[in-house]
Structure 1
């Protein structure tokens, strides 16, 4: 698995902070180099649930479906229903407008630094306590570097809460009504009858 994009890689129409959050949810298992700290297997557990986010003061709510290879989020942004599908194995992200039957395909750039273990390790995660979030026991990890913040993660790698501060403002996310279990593969495919526009490749750092 890969951590496809950081906050500076996103392009419209999806806000950069939202894409960064989705990417972090896809992070894989990692061992921090030079330390015995074992991180939880983030991204490996399939599940579904509701999410609430605040992006620089703008609230967003929706439903998510997560598998080890892809993730789907359904939400309403500025009054428009949107579906975002992240498919790192296919090297692409899909931004779908169901009402208009249109979608944008955003290619994900090849980059050895985007491997999940390497990317998450670069954040230098440090455990700093435990807390129950939405009924789930979690460990709190503080990160630094490209993404500075805190992440509440279960032992089986589900990110229940995030808090980060960026140059675009403060971002928070919380997962609710978590249900673990395999997800229908069709959720992560482009629906029939949708016209696809090819998006520009995200810029390299």
Structure 2
């Protein structure tokens, strides 16, 4: 179950951030409302994007989770605003420990063009070469992944997750959105920053993928 979830969410992260092999990257800064639908329910949030930087927020009742990704620094932070705590994520270690598929194991083809949320978008098909997961991602002319629909399967079991960006506003973003708040304290490591055994790393891996999609809790 965990492996199947990791494969699916690994593809999803790739699609929503448009940094997979053969996919365009954003050429503009923007913000948008984001809606994620999965078997766990529907989740609303916000996305802020600048060059090599991304901030994803998710509200679940009174809870709020935030993920800041800094590709320019090859690290990220998972923030817990209520506790004013954070966990730092090293991109290289996270990718190695998560079991995310290498670009060479994902086939990407262009399906056509469609209008999505008022933007003309190119529709791409993404498929794991082993057939374990796949789906579609719609990317605008500005390189914004405006919609995603992914499915994974293991035997007779299937898992599906969709993501749509709404109210996209193109424009310069506040640089502070992508910085670690000065008044936050580091939380104990769960495996991404080195050390620990494989059993201790699983919660960290699962939490990283969920937070990357804004599905993480506290």
Q: TM-score, normalised by structure 2?
A: 0.70
CA shift for structure 1 position 48? 0.5
Aligned residues: 180
In structure 2, the CA distance between the partners of 1:178 and 1:83, relative to structure 1 (3 Å rule), is same
Corresponding position: 1:69 with 2:52: yes
Gap runs ≥5 in structure 1: 1-5, 10-15, 32-38
Residues 107 and 200 of structure 1 are in contact (CA less than 8 Å); yes or no, is this contact kept in structure 2? no
In structure 2, the CA distance between the partners of 1:23 and 1:87, relative to structure 1 (3 Å rule), is farther
- Other-structure match for 2:42: 59
CA distance, structure 1, for counterparts of residue 102 and residue 171 of structure 2:
26
Corresponding position: 1:123 with 2:100: no
Q: 2:178 aligns with which of 170, 188, 191?
A: 188
CA distance, structure 1, for counterparts of residue 56 and residue 17 of structure 2:
12
Describe how 1:1-205 pairs up with structure 2 within 5 A: 8=6, 17=9, 21-28=12-19, 31=22, 41-77=24-60, 79-109=62-92, 122-145=105-128, 147-167=133-153, 169-197=159-187, 198-201=189-192
CA shift for structure 1 position 23? 4.1
CA shift for structure 1 position 119? 5.4
Residues 107 and 199 of structure 1 are in contact (CA less than 8 Å); yes or no, is this contact kept in structure 2? no
Gap runs ≥5 in structure 2: 193-200, 206-218
CA shift for structure 1 position 191? 0.8
Give the structure, 1 or 2, with the largest relative contact order (CA under 8 Å, sep 6 or more): 2
CA shift for structure 1 position 158? 0.7
Q: What per-residue deviation string (whole Å, max 9, x for no partner) do you get for residues 18-71 of structure 1?
A: x7534433334855xxxxxxx5x2233321110100133421111110112111
